[in-house]
Structure formats: structure tokens, C-alpha cells
Chains A and B, each alone.
Chain A
């Protein structure tokens, strides 16, 4: 692993996907970087002239109106770090007819061989079942594990999606509104759950309170432009509200 020391930030080295081992990054190392790029969504420029880096160990919140370009930035970040980030998209992208267990297990598909995965589809293996069960207890999903996802409420589905992302066991968590469908109390629990398991994270959040509480750096977007990039300590909630005016 010659490029371990951040030689290629744009094309991060492939993680040991098969073993699933979390590879610790040196704190402060650049893990993603934009240098004046313009980001497109379906051939339409959405975010212009983007300039910032994300460092290992940072907890970044992207805030701004819907349509400001947060999702586009997150997708671009994912492209840069493809195989070392846990990905939790806005539309959960679950497979409705499969059980909660299988949807969460999907986070681990890359860690196992084909036959192990296929056999698990027919009848869950004991080991992943227990691992998934442990995660689901913390998310309040344990009694739903064998239910089809399509029978769940929106909030339950969102927690399933978070669990799937976490089960990917990657050092960096990218979440696009990961708690938007949850009430305040549950949202707090889930965010704690995410933070506990990842040393770096980038979340888009519409709740500025959550952003300030769980993140140490805030990036504000307005109509595709970064208008704010500051440590969370230097800013308060009412400053952030101004972004939404």
C-alpha cells in the first residue's frame, strides 16, 4: 500500500474490502478535495467553483436550502472515496420485498463470497445475523428483522438504511439527510449511533441544531455556492438560520 500517506486524495486507494477491516487514517490527512470544480447533475451545472478539502477525523455538516446542491456535493465526495465510505443516500434505496435483515446485510455483501451471500439469502448465517441484530437493537429495529421492508413506516425504513450503511464498516460516513424522517429524540439517538462508529463524517442536515451539536465544521451552500465554511464553535444557530432566509 504505497499510497497510504495521502498520495492520491482524488483516487483513494482501494481498501481491504474483502476483509472489511477498517483502515485508520492518520488524523488530519486530506481524504477528499475540490479545487475549483464545477459539479453537474444530469448534465446541468449545480455547484460551481467548489474549493475545499475534507480531512480525516473531521465531522462536517452541509447545510443549506433544499436544491442548494448538498446532495450533489455528497455524491461527488462519494466518487472520490468510493470504497472507504459508508453511504447513506437520501432516497433509502432499499429492496422493499426483502427483509430488514437482508437489507442491512447488503452492507456486508462485499466482505463475503458469492456462495456465502446466496446461502444467506435462503437462510441467514448465525454470525452476520447476530451482528445485524446487535446494530438493530440500538436502532430499535430488533423486532422487525424478519419483516419485509415494504411493511415498515418511513422512519423505520430510514433507520434500516442507516444500519445498512453502518454495516458497511467504513471509516468515513456520508449521509444525505440520514435522519430527516425521524422525530427529534430518535434523530439524536441515530446520529449518536453514527458518530460513535465513524471517525470522519459528512452529513447533509436541514436541522441546524443537529448540525451544531454533532459536527465540528459547518459548510453552508446557497444556490450552488459555498458561502460559509467555518468551525462549529465559531458560529451559532441564528447565524446559520440566515442561510435559509
Chain B
């Protein structure tokens, strides 16, 4: 007895800061999953799935003219918005050191492009500028952040070697050239996202592929839906072949010719929207006394449930995304699959990344019914494949010893522990995006903030919409700040080139 107690099993788990963060996020995620409404409501999902599967196998182009027009519109919006976003983002990035600029950028990118579209639809109607601004504004915020961070990260040496020179010359001779390649790589990735966003704008009525995709899917015309979807996939898969630097001016010119950014609505309308429509109703009607009860009611009926559901969906989705990514990254890791199987694995991950989560959730809704489940799966699939792809690619740099174990043991003993830091960094980077998407998916009927925002627009209560949108932006800023804090504290650095 005494001997056995001497050899008592006394291994104790010591949690480092990394594992503590992971454990905390897991705990919150599990709680969110328990609270989330995730039942399958459709009693016969198989039927709809079969019809979708058949549609995917026999795509059919409905009306060639309409089809080509939608395709060109999608690209025109994307090109114009990208040009504008790059310009604004670049200018903002020059002063990104200022806290107020950082906050401003976080705010404008905290509002999803669909929300921006809803706002500009009110001001400028279905005009080109509506689509361009809706896309360009949040992207400018994203680009400013990435550009700003890239500028901060370049080697300070060349600049330090200069004799006193003006900031502008120094910037153009040292900082900009040093960051140029990462800048270009990031912009081309962002253009891919821009094409997806441009498609999604069709869901609120702009004449892009999404306009027809939405009706085709909603009305169960899956053959047409499949054709539109294949075009989107093809467009993005071939991006690197046709998106050439030398051709950019040509594309841009064509985009402006196709959809001249004209505004046909009087500025009175815009003025009215910003000075009257979004002013809280009690203030507008000069009954200040009722402002408090107006706010209380809004809080109880929409804001509180909206925020709670957004958080539940966001945190649950973060957990499921993490699980999915951990499960899938071997598909793109040379330590687990090689040759053709790796190419297929990575193709799966890239297709998952190409399909916008809004679209995935929409399809999920049709098949599984209106619980939170479709939104959760859509977020996990889209974000999980992005993280998995990057973690897999990152694992290329691991050199394992010749006699390393294989299979599951290799995964848990060799690869995962070494990849975990990188994995967590990518996941935290993605968190902000997941929160943003959790809010917007409400527009499809899930009770997150987007649901109430959409309702407010439907009821022409722009004062409520404005307040709800600001809250959703603040929620994103919070997630962003928290993720930034954690990345700093845990020394998680990552090249943000494809996030």
C-alpha cells in the first residue's frame, strides 16, 4: 500500500495561457450551443435535398441575355467598389495610427454590406451607386486595417537610415515598396470576396447574379440555381487567370461604361433620410418625454433578444467552426494526404470558402427549416474551410522526424500541438467576421439582430433600424477588440493575407 501510494498517478494538467483561452472559448461555445435553437424543423428534408441534388446534376440556363447581364453587373459592381474601397482604404491606412481612425474603420466594417445596401436603397434607390457604396464602405474599413497593419509590420530599417526627410517621401520610398507585395496579394484575395459580396447584394434587389439565384432557390427552380451557382464558382476559380494587372484599367473602364455610377434621386431624399427618417420617433414628434419609454420598449422587444441571439449564434458558430477546421485541415496537409487526394481535399475546402455563408444559410433554411441550425452550419462550413485551408497550408512548414508516428497519433501528438498556436490565431482573426455574419443572417429569419433590422426597414422605421445597426456595429467592434487583445497577450501573430 505504501509503495503504491509512492507511485501514485499524479499527473496534473497544467493549463498554459493558450489552452486556457481555448478552454474558455470552448466553454462559452458549448453553453451557446445548449441555448441555441437547433432542431431540424422540416419533417422531410430528404425530399427537398433530392430535388436540389437533381438540380445540381442538370443545371439549366434560363435566359441567356438576363444571365449575361447579371454576370456583367456582378463584375461591374465588384470592380467599381474595389477601386473605390482600395482608394479610401489606402488613404485611411496612412493615418491608421490614430485611435479615432482605427475606431472609425472598425465601425464602418462592423456594418455588413447588406445593411449598407439597405441604407443606401433608401437614399438612392436601385441605382449603381447604391451597390458600389454598399460594397465599398465596409471593404474600405477592412482594407484600411490590413494596409495599416502591413505598414506597421514592414522593416523599420530602411526608413531609419534616411536623413530627416518629409513623411510622404519616406513613405513612398520605403514603407510602401516594402509592403507592396503583401498589399497586392491581399487585394486580389479581397477582390474574390468582393465578387461574392456583389452576388449577395442581389438578395436585396440589385441586379446581380444573386437576384436570380435568390428567386430560383426560393421557388425551388434548382436547375437554374445550380447554373448560377456554377457560374459563380467558375468565376472565382478562374480569377487568377483573368485578373491580370495589365488588364485592370480595361476592366475598370468597362465596369464604368456598363454601370455608370449615376444617382437619379434628388439630394433632398438623402438629406431627409439622415436628418428626419433616422431621428428617433419621439424626438421627431417633439415628445422628448417619451424617448425613454421608446428606448426601453425597443430594448425589451428587439435589441436585447437580437443581441443575445447574435451572441449565441456567433459563439456557437465559432466553436463549430473550430471543430470543423480541426477535422478538415488534414485534407490540405502533406502529412496526411498526398498528391491527387490532397488536391481533391483542398478543392473541397476552396469550394466551401467560395460559397457565401448567406447563400449556404439560405439553402439550409429551405432544407432544414427555420431554426438556428442552418445558420450555424453555414457559418461553420464557410469559415471552417477557410481556417482549415490555411492551417493545412501552414503545416507544410513543419518538418517531422523520419520515424514519426502515423495517422491519428501523428495528428494528436505531432501536428496538432505545433499547429495549435497558428490555428487559434486564425480563429480569433475570423471571430469578428463570424459575429458580423451572425447578425446579418437574421435577415433570412433567424432571430439575430439582422431580423429586427430587416423588419425595421420593412416597416419604414429607420430610426429603429439605425439604432439596431449601430448596436450590431458596436458588437463587432467589441469582438474585434477582444480578439486583438487576446492575439497580443498570447503573442499570436499571423499574416492576415487571406483573412
Residue numbers of A with Cβ under 8 A of B are 17, 82-83, 87, 89, 91, 93-98, 102, 106-107, 109-110, 112-114, 117-118, 121, 164-165, 168, 170
Within 8 A of A (CB), among B131-184: 155, 157-158, 160-166, 168-170, 172-174, 177-178, 180-181
Verify B163–A121 contact, CB threshold 8 A.
no
Closest partner residue, chain A, to B180 (CB atom): A97
- Nearest residue (CB) in B for A117 is B169
Number of residues on chain B facing chain A (CB within 8 A): 20
What residue in chain A is nearest B166 (Cβ atoms)?
A114
Q: How far apart sit A96 and B83, CA to CA, in the bound complex (Å)?
A: 27
State the CA gap A165–B163 with chains docked (Å): 9
Chain B residues packing against A (C-beta within 8 Å): 155, 157-158, 160-166, 168-170, 172-174, 177-178, 180-181
A109 to B168, CA, bound (A): 10
Main SS class of interface, B: helix
Q: What residues on A are CB-neighbors of B158 within 8 Å? A: 93-95, 106
CA–CA, A117 and B180, complex, Å? 18
Query: How far, in angstroms, from A17 to B173 measured CA to CA in the complex?
Result: 18
Contact call B172/A117, Cβ cutoff below 8 A: yes
Alpha-carbon separation in the docked complex, A110 to B158 (Å): 14
Q: Closest chain B residue to A97 by CB distance?
A: B177
Minimum CB–CB distance from B112 to chain A (whole Å) comes to: 36
B157 touching A109, Cβ below 8 Å = no
Contact B172 A110 (CB under 8 A): no
Select from chain B the residue with minimum beta-carbon distance to A106: B173
- Take A97-B181, A117-B172 as given contacts and tell me if A110 and B162 are in contact as well, using a CB distance cutoff of 8 Å: yes
| Distance from B384 Cβ to chain A, minimum over Cβ atoms (Å) | 35
Are B161's CB and A110's CB within 8 A? no
A110 CB contact (under 8 Å) in B157, B164, B174, B180: B164
Distance of A117 Cα from B169 Cα, bound (Å): 6
Within 8 Å CB of B170, what residues of A? 109
A110 and B165 contacting across the interface, CB-CB below 8 Å = yes
Smallest CB-CB separation from A161: which chain B residue? B161
Q: Are A93 and B157 in contact (CB under 8 A)?
A: yes
Question: Measured between C-beta atoms, what is the minimum distance from B11 to chain A in Å?
Answer: 39
Contact of A121 among B155, B173, B178 (CB under 8 A): B173
Residue pairs across A and B with Cβ atoms less than 8 A apart, 27 shown, are: A83-B163, A83-B164, A87-B163, A89-B157, A89-B161, A91-B157, A95-B174, A95-B177, A97-B178, A97-B180, A97-B181, A102-B173, A106-B158, A106-B162, A106-B174, A109-B162, A109-B163, A109-B165, A109-B169, A109-B170, A110-B163, A114-B168, A117-B165, A117-B172, A121-B172, A164-B161, A170-B163
* Residue on B nearest A84 in the bound complex, by CB: B163
Task: List the B side residues contacting A82 at CB < 8 Å.
Answer: 164
Residues of B within 8 A of A118 (CB): 168-169, 172
Closest chain B residue to A114 by CB distance? B168
The verdict on A95 contacting B162 (CB below 8 Å), with A118-B169, A121-B173 known, is: no
Other contacts beyond A110-B165, A118-B172: 19, CB < 8 A: A83-B163, A87-B163, A89-B157, A93-B157, A93-B158, A93-B160, A95-B178, A97-B180, A98-B177, A106-B158, A106-B161, A109-B169, A112-B169, A114-B168, A114-B169, A117-B165, A121-B173, A165-B161, A170-B163
CB distance A107 to B157 under 8 Å? no
B451 to chain A, nearest CB (A): 49
Instruction: Report how far A164 CA is from B172 CA in the complex, Å.
Output: 17
Most buried by A among B160, B163, B180, B181: B163
CA distance A87 to B163 in the complex (A): 8
Closest to B159 in A: A93
> Which of A83, A89, A96, A106 gathers most chain B CB within 10 Å?
A106
Residues of A within 8 A of B174 (CB): 95, 106
Assembly CA distance A98 to B181 (angstroms)? 12
Measured CB to CB, the nearest residue on chain A to B175 is A95
Contacts of B165 in A (CB 8 A): 109-110, 117
Bound form: Cα–Cα A110–B178 in Å: 20
A87 touching B164 by the CB < 8 A rule? no
Known: A95-B178, A97-B178, A114-B168. A109 touches B160 (CB 8 A): no
Min CB–CB distance A135 → chain B (angstroms): 16
Q: How many Å from the CB of B89 to the closest CB on chain A?
A: 20
